[in-house]
Amino acid sequence: MKSSVLETLAKCVRARALRIWAFGLAAAVAATTLPAATPASAHGERSQQAFLRMRTLNWYDVKWSKTTVNVNEEMELTGKVHVFSGWPQAVAKPEVAFLNVGEPGPVLIRKGAFVGDVPAPRSFSLQVGKDYEYKLVLKARRQGRFHVHVQINVEGGGPIVGPGQWIDIKGDMANFTNPVTLLDGSTIDLESYGITWVYTYHFLWMAAAAVWILYWFMTKGIIVRYWQVKAGKGNDLISTNEKKFGGLWLAGTLLAVLFGYAWANSTWPRTLPMQAGLLKGIDPIPLPPQTVTAHFKGGSYTVPGRELAIKLKITNSGSEAVKVGEFTTAGLRFLNPEVFTTKPEFPDYLLADRGLSVSDPTPIAPGETRDVTVIVQDARFDIERLSDLAYDTDSQFGGLLFFFSPSGQRQGVEIGGPVIPKFQAGATL
Ligand SMILES: [Cu+2]
């Protein structure tokens, strides 16, 4: 009776495993055939929620010094980032952040990272509401065509990626070198330094772990052990000999760690631990006091037209007239063609050069306060999946609005707030 119950259970487990396997296979087939129908995209940056990309870090002035490099050649990724004041509650504040490059594996290595003038190879703190300048020095390693982003990893918030650019790397990875001069004056190649040891001790520990797991799995297996424990026979599971062998195995492991540590210490007496502290007090960009304010007075997002309508009360207390020239969010740039008469250098898939218009296009004079509606409309809004904000729990957008004066002064003003999603075209605000 009991064995027949066990058999039935085992059959169920097998049938379920088979179903999961079949489903996995179907999903894998779909995954390999579906992308052919959609344009070749990058590596999943659009899958991050719209609110996360719009209301955390606003990237601007992002520049890639080159788009074609040879293996071993260096390039720079520079720009500025505004830390959004309305940082979402669901995401941890950027108190521990790390400047990185978003790319498919180490195709370019990070030779240097700077926030402001401070070298930032470790984590640092960012203040909400402030702007920072950054620079990444990258060296090409693997040949191919790769999508390369600036990225800031936030503890508790995950990686937040900026705009990406396609970089062509020519040459052959076999020629890649990464020479570094040590404190004692000698030079090593980090690409191959100590690589035999890295492989040796990783594989030794992996082999030890595999033997251990396999042994216990081969003797009984997880489900049988579970049943035995359930049947009250848990104490018979491990024999005396197995306990002795386990003790020996533990002693051997501890000895290996101890000897390895002593040996490494005597071979390399002068070593520094990995620098993993937190840099505090990095200065933000000293921006002049704002002379333009923009108060959000409501807005809507029309899903079929991919149109974000933002009502603003703009006050200009500066000495020059200003015009709304650009709205940037999630790495996308929506430009007002009246202000940008030439197309700036920027990845085309993120640049809507006719994507912004203003209900009253005349410049806002010094001392004037005016209610305007800014229309942000472009397919890129939807392609980059920012339309998802219509389905968010609070449907709040965010971004930077740039004002331009006749003398070429630019001022960035943060805007954001809840918008009402509209699912029919032609509905008025
Ligand atoms: Cu990408």
Per-residue pLDDT of the chain (429 residues; tens, 9 = 90+): 444 444 444 444 444 444 444 444 444 444 443 433 333 455 678 888 888 899 999 999 999 999 999 999 999 999 999 999 989 888 899 999 999 999 999 999 999 999 999 999 999 999 999 999 999 999 999 999 999 999 999 998 889 999 999 999 999 999 999 999 988 899 999 999 999 999 998 999 999 999 988 988 888 888 888 999 999 988 888 888 889 989 999 999 999 999 999 999 999 888 888 878 898 889 999 998 999 999 999 999 888 888 899 999 999 999 999 999 999 999 999 999 999 999 999 999 999 999 999 999 999 999 999 999 999 999 898 888 888 877 777 788 999 999 999 998 999 999 999 888 888 776 555
43 CA distance to ligand 1 middle (Å): 5
In this structure, are residues 383 and 352 in contact, taking their beta carbons and an 8 Å threshold? no
Query: Please, how many CA atoms are within 13 Å of residue 381, restricted to the half-sphere of its CB?
Result: 28
354 CA distance to ligand 1 middle (Å): 23
In this structure, are residues 332 and 386 in contact, taking their beta carbons and an 8 Å threshold? yes
78 CA distance to ligand 1 middle (Å): 17
The position carrying tokens 């200003």 is 322
41 CA distance to ligand 1 middle (Å): 7
Query: Please, how many CA atoms are within 13 Å of residue 118, restricted to the half-sphere of its CB?
Result: 18
Task: Round to whole Å and give the CA distance between 169 and 185.
Answer: 31
Q: Is 401 exposed, middle or buried (0-12, 13-18, 19+ CB in 10 A)?
A: buried
Q: Which residues, including other chains, have CB under 8 Å from residue 248's CB and lie 6 or more apart? A: none
234 CA distance to ligand 1 middle (Å): 52
Top-level class of domain 195-267:
mainly alpha
103 CA distance to ligand 1 middle (Å): 7
Task: Round to whole Å and give the CA distance between 173 and 169.
Answer: 10
129 CA distance to ligand 1 middle (Å): 26
- Quick: pLDDT tens for 152-184: 999 988 899 999 999 999 999 999 999 999 888
In this structure, are residues 411 and 314 in contact, taking their beta carbons and an 8 Å threshold? no
345 CA distance to ligand 1 middle (Å): 18
Identify the pLDDT of residue 388: 81
55 CA distance to ligand 1 middle (Å): 19
401 CA distance to ligand 1 middle (Å): 24
Query: Please, how many CA atoms are within 13 Å of residue 149, restricted to the half-sphere of its CB?
Result: 23
135 is written with which tokens? Answer: 């620079």
Closest alpha carbon to 310 in 252, 381, 251: 381
CA distances from 48 to 52, 54, 112, 388 (A): 7, 10, 27, 10
**Ion ligand 1: residues, Cβ under 5 Å:** 42-43, 45, 147, 164
CA angle 125, 281, 65 (to 5 degrees): 70
Strands 323-329 and 68-70: unpaired
Enumerate the domain spans of the chain. Answer: 2-37, 45-184, 195-267, 292-422
The position carrying tokens 């309508």 is 309
164 CA distance to ligand 1 middle (Å): 5
Bridge partner residues of 351 (DSSP)? 333
Helices (H), ranges, 329-404: 379-383
Please spell the DSSP secondary structure of 349-411, one letter per residue: GGEETT-EEESS-SPBPTT-EEEEEEEEE-HHHHHTTGGGGGGSSS-EEEEEEEEE-TT--EE
Identify the pLDDT of residue 40: 46
Bridge partner residues of 294 (DSSP)? 314
42 CA distance to ligand 1 middle (Å): 4
Task: Round to whole Å and give the CA distance between 383 and 376.
Answer: 14
141 CA distance to ligand 1 middle (Å): 18
Sign of the torsion formed by the C-alpha atoms of 263, 268, 271 and 274 = negative
CATH T-level fold of 292-422: Immunoglobulin-like (2.60.40)
383 CA distance to ligand 1 middle (Å): 14
349 CA distance to ligand 1 middle (Å): 11
331 CA distance to ligand 1 middle (Å): 11
Radius of gyration of the chain (CA): 29
Q: Looking at domain 45-184, does it have CATH number 2.60.120.570?
A: yes
